[in-house]
Amino acid sequence: MSSTTPSPGRPSALDPAIAGRLKRTPDGLVAAIAQQYDTGEVLMLGWMDDEALHRTLTTGRCTYWSRSRREYWVKGDTSGHVQHVKSVSLDCDGDTVLVRVDQVGAACHTGDRTCFDAGRLDPGAPAPAGH
């Protein structure tokens, strides 16, 4: 299920009506936010191209494009921490998708439930010395 290059500019099986609504980065990607469907907990941010979005919509499992590994990955295939898709929505600008999922296990590669519990940034907090 992997590829060495994302599919921008190449034919994709993604519905053309959906593809036409996407506003992609210069490298053909859109941000994809994974959210726990029943609690609203924000779990992680990944990247999708047209093919990854197509796979997500048709398989019911989140597929992302790894910018560092330059390949597709299905959340949970190696870790067992699967994301079962409940719904997918496009934001008003067409540059971000919200994937509401039922997360099994940790969403973060560190083993944490969410990628957003590493440290809160409080507004108005003093900046670290030297900044």
Q: Which domain holds residue 92?
A: 31-103
95 is in an annotated binding site: yes
Where do runs of H (alpha helix) occur along the chain? Answer: 16-19, 50-59
- b/e per residue 67-87 (b: at least 16 CB within 10 A): eeeeebbbbbeeeebbbebee
62 is in an annotated binding site: no
- Is 130 within a domain? no
- Is 25 within a domain? no
pTM for this model (two decimals) = 0.83
Cα–Cα nearest to 24, from 58, 50, 57, 63: 50
CATH code at position 71: 3.10.20.810
Please say whether the beta carbons of 47 and 30 come within 8 A.
yes
The predicted pLDDT at position 122 comes to: 80
Please say whether the beta carbons of 1 and 15 come within 8 A.
no
- Is 43 within a domain? yes
What pLDDT, in 10s, does the model give residues 19-67? Answer: 999 999 999 999 999 999 999 999 999 999 999 999 999 999 999 999 9
What pLDDT, in 10s, does the model give residues 1-13? Answer: 444 445 544 567 9
Separation between Cα atoms, residue 124 and residue 23, nearest integer Å: 33
As for how many domains the chain has, the answer is 1
92 is in an annotated binding site: yes
Separation between Cα atoms, residue 49 and residue 24, nearest integer Å: 8
DSSP annotation of 126 reads P
